[in-house]
Amino acid sequence: MSTDRGAQRLAALYREGQRFWSTPTGEAIRCAERACLGPVCERLFGMHSLELGFGSVLADMCPVRHAMQWAPTRELAQGASTLVCSPDALPLPDDSLSLVVVHHLLEVAPDPHHMLQEAARITADEGRLILFGWMPLSPMAMGRLSPARRQRLPWRGQWRSPNRLRDWLAFVDFEIERVDYCAFHLPGRLPRNALFETLGRRYNLPLGDSYMIQAQRRPQLIETRRSGLRFTAPLGGAAFGAARLEPDHRVARQLTVQERGMTESE
């Protein structure tokens, strides 16, 4: 698939997602998810954040100074702080964002593994990576029983459980801190019942339409030691030049001084 064709496909998906999130069902679910995200945002401070998704801003209560949105094309950009790119090729530095929110995009992204790698790459060590997904067993999931509905958002794509995403996050050196469930309701009803939402949130029952994963980078438990060998030429064969290993004399001198000090102390 060419780059232009991929951008057009993402643009069509983006417009379809905007239509769903503007419906009464989409607005009710967004309101419930925003209530889940609020306590997390109140504890976060930093310079930059990014939201990857189809709906309007979800983390607008967050005190992060510079909040960015995402769009697949310039025509769909909603402001000067919109990042226009493919979601699996984010033009941002490593470890640069205090908050990254992926809102129901892993289910339908063309390359979800690579997109998650990119989202993890740009999340700072002390930052948070937030993933919103659809619960495979929920009132909303009953709509996936209809083949016609499975061709439309939000029922299309691959719905993955939090346990499955735990394995994905471990691959990119992130770990789940907490999973919250959102949007509780009876089948055929909108998730606007305050009693259901209160009980579901209080006991964190895995019965809501969606879930919110809070993830953070794993602490580095092993300190990498500098090698005493260095390459004097690039690696490779004839096309890249020859390479050989030589001792790093600076490291050797340091080791000699340390050993001499240990001998004198004994």
| Residue 122 to residue 153: CA distance in whole angstroms | 28
Nearest to 162 by CA among 182, 145, 178: 178
pLDDT digits over 89-102, tens only?
999 999 999 999 99
CB 118 within 8 A of CB 73: no
Identify the DSSP state of 3: H
CB 158 within 8 A of CB 234: no
pLDDT digits over 15-73, tens only?
999 999 999 999 999 999 999 999 998 888 888 999 999 988 898 888 888 999 999 99
| Residue 47 to residue 93: CA distance in whole angstroms | 13
For the chain, the maximum distance between any two Cα atoms, rounded to a whole number of angstroms, is 81
How many residues can be counted in the chain? 266
Question: If pLDDT is split at 50, 70 and 90, which confidence band does 121 have?
Answer: very high
Is cis: bond before 154, omega within 30 of 0?
A: yes
Question: If pLDDT is split at 50, 70 and 90, which confidence band does 193 have?
Answer: confident
Q: Which structure tokens are listed for 170? A: 């471990």
Query: Could you count the other beta carbons within 10 Å of the beta carbon of residue 230?
Result: 13
Question: If pLDDT is split at 50, 70 and 90, which confidence band does 113 have?
Answer: very high
So what's the pLDDT on residue 18?
96
Domains of the chain by start residue, with CATH = 1-217 (3.40.50.150)
CB 231 within 8 A of CB 243: yes
> What is the secondary structure of 6-68 as a DSSP string?
HHHHHHHHHHHHHHHHTSHHHHHHHHHHHHHHHHHHHT---SEEEEESSSS-S-TT---SEEE
Angle (CA) 27-30-31 rounded to 5° is 85
pLDDT digits over 215-262, tens only?
999 987 334 434 443 334 433 333 333 334 344 444 444 444 444 444
So what's the pLDDT on residue 97?
96
pLDDT digits over 155-179, tens only?
999 999 999 999 999 999 999 999 9
CB 84 within 8 A of CB 67: no
So what's the pLDDT on residue 2?
57
Q: What is the pTM of this model?
A: 0.81
So what's the pLDDT on residue 43?
83
Residues sharing a CB contact under 8 Å with residue 180, sequence separation 6 or more, in sequence order: 36, 201, 204, 211, 212, 214
**Alpha-carbon torsion, ordered 196, 215, 50, 168, to 10 deg:** -100
